[in-house]
């Protein structure tokens, strides 16, 4: 499983330079819903070990979370998962909709 935490705009820009397809989760470290969603995200990461997945903790990385919302036009939610192809968000969902099964379906549906 490759699950990498992003902390700031520099991290985000580096990932965007290196990868065309990006899956990222906005996680809240104080929210019980986010805690459950993050466990589902970890299961998804374990089941898709060949993919690199990213996350940020909104309490530690609020400027980055806001930047992603501004760049994409997708309103910030937490928890929230976004799938990018290039600079385009091809799928996103939040809260109780973040499950291993739904992530797997979205991943397959959005692969080019």
Q: DSSP states of 33-70 as a string?
A: HHHHHHHHHHHHHHHTTTSEEEEEETTT-HHHHHHHHH
pLDDT tens-place string over residues 31-89: 999 999 999 999 999 999 888 999 999 999 999 999 999 999 999 999 999 999 999 99
pLDDT tens-place string over residues 50-62: 889 999 999 999 9
Q: Is the peptide bond before 82 cis (omega within 30 degrees of 0)?
A: no
Segments making up each domain of the chain, as ranges: 2-110
Q: Judging by DSSP bridges, how do beta strands 52-57 and 2-5 pair with one another?
A: parallel
Give the predicted TM-score (pTM) of the model: 0.95
CATH number for the domain running over 2-110: 3.40.30.10
């Amino acid at each position: 499983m490759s699950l990498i935490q992003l902390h700031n705009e520099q991290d985000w820009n580096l990932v965007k330079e290196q990868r065309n397809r990006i899956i990222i989760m906005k996680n809240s470290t104080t929210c019980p819903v986010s805690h459950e969603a993050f466990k589902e995200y970890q299961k998804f990461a374990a089941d898709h070990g060949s993919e690199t997945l990213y996350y940020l903790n909104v309490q530690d990385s609020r400027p980055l979370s806001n930047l992603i919302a501004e760049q994409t036009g997708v309103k910030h939610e937490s928890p929230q998962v976004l799938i990018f192809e290039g600079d385009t968000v091809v799928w996103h969902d939040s809260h109780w909709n973040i499950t291993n099964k739904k992530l797997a379906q979205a991943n397959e549906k959005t692969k080019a």
